[in-house]
Amino acid sequence: MYCNYCGKVIQDDANVCAYCGKRIGSVESRHRLMRSRTDRKVAGVCAGFAEYFDLDVSLVRVVWLIAALLPPGISLIAYVIAWIVMPEEPLMLPETVGQPVANT
């Protein structure tokens, strides 16, 4: 399989291109709008929107900052509402490898 963005050969079951980082194919869980746990500055709202729309998170943060400066208050209220309404991304725990050690 080839990446549609960079044209490099990737694995057939890959969800993300190892070379350019773009998403490949469709994954059902990716269509949910959720706040990010890993890439957050305040509440993960901008990172969640960037993930949902497949945009750069810095671009979303700059646009939100500009919107906060233009009509004072409205975008800040929208951010707080998104913070409350958007569910947080599920916690991903590391997978244990091997068998559990027996206590002796």
pLDDT tens per residue, range 56-93: 889 989 998 888 888 777 888 888 888 898 888 777 76
Task: Note the pLDDT of residue 29.
Answer: 45
Q: Residue 49 falls within a domain, yes or no? A: yes
Task: Note the pLDDT of residue 27.
Answer: 46
Domain that holds residue 53: 28-85
Hey, is 34 helix, strand or coil? coil
Q: Residue 36 falls within a domain, yes or no? A: yes
On whether the CB atoms of residues 6 and 20 are closer than 8 A, the answer is yes
Q: Residue 97 falls within a domain, yes or no? A: no
> What are the pLDDT digits (tens) for 13-40?
777 887 877 777 654 445 677 877 777 7
The values of phi and psi at residue 66, to 5°, are -65, -40
**How far separated are the first and last CA of the chain, in Å rounded?**
50
Overall number of domains in the chain? 1
Q: Residue 11 falls within a domain, yes or no? A: no
Q: Residue 74 falls within a domain, yes or no? A: yes
- Residue 4 is encoded by which pair of tokens? 């549609």
Q: Residue 66 falls within a domain, yes or no? A: yes
